[in-house]
Amino acid sequence: MRGGLLGELLPADVAAVDDFGDSGPAAAMPLHPEEARLISGVVAERRREFTTVRGCARLALTALGLPAAPLLPGRRGAPIWPQGAVGSMTHCRGYRAAAVGDAARFLAIGIDAEPDEPLPQAVASKVISPRERAELTRMTCHDAGIAWDRLVFCVKESVYKIWSPLTGSWLDYADADVRLRPDGTFTVRLLVQAPTVAGVGLETLTGRWLAARGLLLSAIALPTG
């Protein structure tokens, strides 16, 4: 299953599901009792996004023949996926998505979605390095209609969703150097000592990005060795 916008960025053997309005099949899927307890008392908007993004994840798990188990937060808040699965979830204003892969084929998957809007200056100063800022100037000349600084943030969020479950450690925005390409691909060089996990080095990660429908999306699917 390669759903919607997200499916354009991932390998064919990754199940991807997205939702734009909290009104599709994903939004209609009930929460497990354990999940419902996590959001008891939250505002309606937060409940909707929580429910829909887990519905997306359950549809993706089902597409791979994996159990649609409760998705509860583990270490550093990352969801604990059923045995045999790796995945990632994301949500932003008007968009929810999940991607799931077979753990025998992928070590980790990281996705993120953001509104295609410039970062607030206070945030950009913490996220964007001087080298990246110089590159963003060139990218703006290529296409001034994309919020390139927000895209760098989006990519770094995807990187963290790869890094955190594999290493169990924190990764600062300044620890990842992003190089975007106009063809919809990117490369990220980690500026900290990166371990080798199951024979796969994490020093450099590659992925794909997309700007469409007022959104910025990034995705990394890290294959096994």
Query: Which residue positions form the known binding site for Mg(2+)?
Result: 112-114
Give binding residues as ranges. Answer: 46, 54, 90-91, 112-114, 157, 161, 171
According to DSSP, the residues that pair with 37 across neighbouring strands are none
Q: Please give the full DSSP string across 108-142, using - where no structure is assigned.
A: EEEEEEEESSPPPHHHHHHH--HHHHHHHHHHHHH
Do residues 189 and 203 touch, judged by C-beta distance below 8 A?
yes
Numbered residues of the known binding site for CoA: 46, 54, 90-91, 112, 157, 161, 171
Give me the phi and psi of 74, to 5 degrees please. Answer: -110, -140
Span between the terminal Cα atoms of the chain, in Å: 24
